[in-house]
Chain A
Amino acid sequence: MAHDFEISLDFEACKGCGYCLEVCPGNVFDPGGVHNGKGYRPPVAARPGDCLGCQGCFMACPDFCLEVLRAPGKG
């Protein structure tokens, strides 16, 4: 089944604070293992199919690097 939401995480703009991971009620994120250019390890949206679209991660993210979009055709 196609996902209802797509999570876009800008790997280089993330500061790895982990708030998205902490607030997510759908357990969508996993801790990341790869460092970006600034030395942070951005989480990974490992289970986008479990996203409820609550925008909690977007509201909690202190950097302009995360957004939750409706998947195409899921208007």
Chain B
Amino acid sequence: MDRLSRKFLRARKIPGTACSGCGLGQVHKRILLAIEGLGLGKDDLVWGTGIGCAGRQTFNTWLGDNFAGTHGRVYALAAGLRMALPRERRIVLTVGDGDAFGIGLKHLLNCARRNLDLTVIVADNLGFQSTGGQYGPTTPPGAVTDSSPYGLDEAGWLGPDLDILEILRAAGATFLARHLSLDGQGSVESVKAAILNPGFSLVHFIYPCVTHFGAVSLAERDKGRVLAWFREAFGDGPGEPGGGAGEGPGPRVGTGFLKFGRGVFHSAPGSRPDYSEQVKDWTRKMARGQGGGLATGNTP
């Protein structure tokens, strides 16, 4: 174990469940670096997990309180918790692309609409990888997967003409960023800003699945060349668009599909109210008898 895991994680969960060379642990590490950087401890934060590789890697690892949702439903649980817990207790969710942008998208958008003070970290492996490598809502165009053997011809949330971050901004999210799991301190700073934002925040981390996306879609078993494809596809620097035609290793997947590369996409802390705070105010007023009906003393 290292410093971070000794400080923040349960020893019996180390090493994690991810495949050798999977970038998921890099995402996990950047979240812990942000928590450490903000000086938060195990009692300051409640950690929720979704289903899939991302949920499994982080499930019940946090030394403090944990909760897990069924597939795509952890946002609804977090919404309830947000209304019950005081603002000082942060809520961080680690979920995958299928969970957040597929089956759970409606719940996610409703959390953004209410600007609930949640930090959603989407660890995106570009498809449904824990079930063996089927395409999902962020799989790049043309990718060969178990369920797209001739190459994916369906529009995805990662371009060429759409970007899920645009949808989330339109839905009311107040902090949005995108990074690669290999990014340095900039990605840690984005997670910190997400945790500090008193509203709905989402950091979209793309990470290499070496076992399915790398080996099948890119037809590349050399982990170094898989990483090179990710660097090219997701831009060389913050905010730069994904690369052009591409000399990447994957002859079957081009790299010019992305609308927005890496960095902070949208930051507007305090621009909209957090609905959970409104609910708490209302409940307090009711408890004082100002609203009639609910004066039971059962204050949150």
Contact = CB atoms under 8 A, between A and B. Distances in A.
Contacts of B5: 64
Interface string B23-46: 111100100000000000000000
Contacts of A13: 1, 14-15
Contacts of A8: 2
Interface string B62-104: 0000000000000000000000000000000000000000000
Chief secondary structure at chain A's binding surface: loop
Contacts of B16: 63-64
Contacts of B4: 64
Contacts of A40: 20
Interface of A: 8, 10, 13-19, 22, 38, 40, 58-67
Nearest to A56: B184
Interface residues of B, number: 24
Given A62-B24, A63-B15, 7 more contacts: A15-B20, A16-B20, A62-B22, A62-B25, A62-B26, A64-B29, A65-B2
A62 B23 contact: yes
B4 to A, nearest CB: 6
A66 B184 CA distance: 16
B224 interface: yes
B169 interface: no
